[in-house]
């Protein structure tokens, strides 16, 4: 009688153990993805081109928007953002839900947070956005991105509430969109990667950490005074950052001049029509690419909110 224990399926001759770790398989078994910084060269992003869902917005407040955006203009602006990324050498992928999603699906940055070993899938805090994460997770999996963790239970977490300060440190903000349980779960997942998490608070009337902090290089970060906590400033200082206020609060409020994406060290993609902010950024040695987003702004988000980071270059600090 055949001794099955000698067969490869049971560990016998021919069995080959899986070598290395998950991170060793990024770029082969898994797609080229991952990030542990906010400023190293951007390589791939996940977007959602606004579809029929924004045509059906009857009450902007119910849809978490400021006004009803013009669908045609919003799509044209979104296409221009995608074109700008491609021009900058960034691969653009789309969520492409098979069913009609909620109207905020375009704000992909909120739906996951990328690590060197894959994505932590979030859980949006508002009932109006329930299920958006499902479509982002589906597309990430289809692309070959490992799903490192998914926020569960009563936890809420949106990816725009977390930021890499260095490859071993992440800042998470607790507030309207991320609760204690969500922050704890994300911190636990990151701890498994050897990453330390610092937790800060956001004041009432703010949405995400992304709107209060943008990192443009290893030693330079912009913040919104009176909206950023002393705790966050302390953590940034200990991390070696020079902390500079956003240059024009009116442009930040009305045009989301602060809601940019860092595409490489001291290079950003930002909204057009923000002359004071752009001038100040350029005087700080930052190269600025601009795109019109007037229609998208009515949906209460900017370029950073629209952009799910799939991959950046790896680097050592």
At residue 2, does pLDDT exceed 80?
Answer: no
CATH code for position 170: 3.75.10.10
CB-based burial, 217-256: b 16+ in 10 Å, e otherwise: bbebbbbbeebbeeebbebbeebebebeebbbbebbeebb
Residues 114-142 have a mean pLDDT of 98
Tell me whether residue 197 is in a domain: yes
Residues 18-27 have a mean pLDDT of 94
- Looking at the 3D structure of the chain, how many domains does it have? 1
The tokens of 80 are what? Answer: 């221009």
Tell me whether residue 213 is in a domain: no
Tell me whether residue 20 is in a domain: no
At residue 316, does pLDDT exceed 90?
Answer: no
**Apex CA 41: angle with CA 50 and CA 194, to 5°?**
100
Tell me whether residue 317 is in a domain: no
What residues pair up with 170 in beta bridges, in sequence order? 164, 197
3-state secondary structure the chain: CCCHHHCHHHCCCCCCCCCCCHHHHECCCECCCECCCCCCCEEEEEECCCCHHHHHCCCCCCCCCCCCCCHHHHHHHHHHHHHHHHHCCCEEEECCCCCCCCCCCCCHHHCEEEECCEEEECECCCHHHCCHHHHHHHHHHHHCCCEEEECCCCCCECHHHEEEEECCEEEEEECCCCCHHHHHHHHHHHHCCCCEEEEEECCCCCCCHHHCEEEEECCEEEECCCCCCHHHHHHHHHCCCEEEECCCHHHHHHHCCCCCEEEECCEEEEECCCHHHHHHHHHCCCEEEEECCHHHHCCCCCHHHHCEEEEECCCCC
Summary mean pLDDT of the chain: 96
Tell me whether residue 10 is in a domain: no
Tell me whether residue 70 is in a domain: yes
Place of tokens 């928007």: 65
Q: How high is the pLDDT of residue 6?
A: 83
Tell me whether residue 136 is in a domain: yes
At residue 67, does pLDDT exceed 70?
Answer: yes
Residues 99-126 have a mean pLDDT of 98
Q: How high is the pLDDT of residue 314?
A: 87
At residue 302, does pLDDT exceed 60?
Answer: yes
pLDDT digits (tens, 9 = 90+) for 243-263: 999 999 999 999 999 999 999
CB hemisphere CA count around 147 (13 angstroms): 17
Tell me whether residue 199 is in a domain: yes
Domain that holds residue 163: 27-205+292-312
Whole-model pTM?
Answer: 0.96
Give, as one character, the DSSP assignment of residue 123.
B
At residue 131, does pLDDT exceed 90?
Answer: yes
Residues 1-6 have a mean pLDDT of 71
């Amino acid at each position: 009688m055949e001794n099955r224990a000698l067969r490869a399926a049971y560990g016998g001759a021919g069995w080959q153990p899986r070598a290395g770790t998950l991170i060793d398989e990024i770029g082969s078994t898994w797609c080229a993805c991952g990030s542990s910084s906010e400023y190293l060269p951007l390589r791939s992003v996940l977007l959602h081109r606004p579809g029929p869902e924004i045509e059906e917005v009857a009450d902007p407040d119910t849809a978490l928007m400021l006004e009803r955006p013009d669908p045609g203009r919003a799509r044209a602006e979104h296409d221009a953002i995608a074109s700008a990324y491609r021009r900058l050498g960034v691969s653009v992928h789309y969520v492409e839900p098979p069913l009609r999603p909620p109207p905020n699906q375009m704000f992909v940055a909120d739906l996951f947070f990328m690590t060197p070993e894959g994505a932590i899938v979030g859980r949006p805090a508002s009932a109006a956005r329930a299920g958006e994460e499902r479509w982002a997770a589906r597309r990430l999996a289809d692309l070959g991105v490992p799903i490192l963790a998914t926020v569960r239970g009563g936890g809420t977490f949106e990816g725009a509430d977390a930021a890499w300060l260095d490859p071993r440190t992440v800042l998470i903000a607790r507030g309207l969109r991320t609760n204690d349980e969500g922050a704890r779960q994300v911190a636990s997942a990151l701890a498994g990667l050897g990453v330390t998490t610092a937790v800060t608070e956001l004041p009432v009337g703010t949405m995400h950490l992304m709107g209060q902090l943008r990192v443009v290089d290893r030693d330079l970060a912009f913040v919104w005074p009176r909206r950023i906590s002393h705790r966050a400033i302390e953590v940034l200082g200990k991390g070696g950052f020079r902390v500079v206020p956003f240059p024009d609060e009116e442009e930040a409020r009305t045009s989301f001049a602060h809601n940019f994406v860092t595409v490489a060290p001291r290079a950003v993609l930002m909204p057009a029509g923000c002359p004071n902010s752009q001038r100040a950024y350029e005087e700080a040695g930052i190269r600025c690419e601009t795109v019109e987003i007037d229609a998208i702004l009515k949906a209460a988000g900017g370029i950073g909110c629209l952009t799910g980071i799939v991959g950046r270059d790896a680097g050592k600090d």
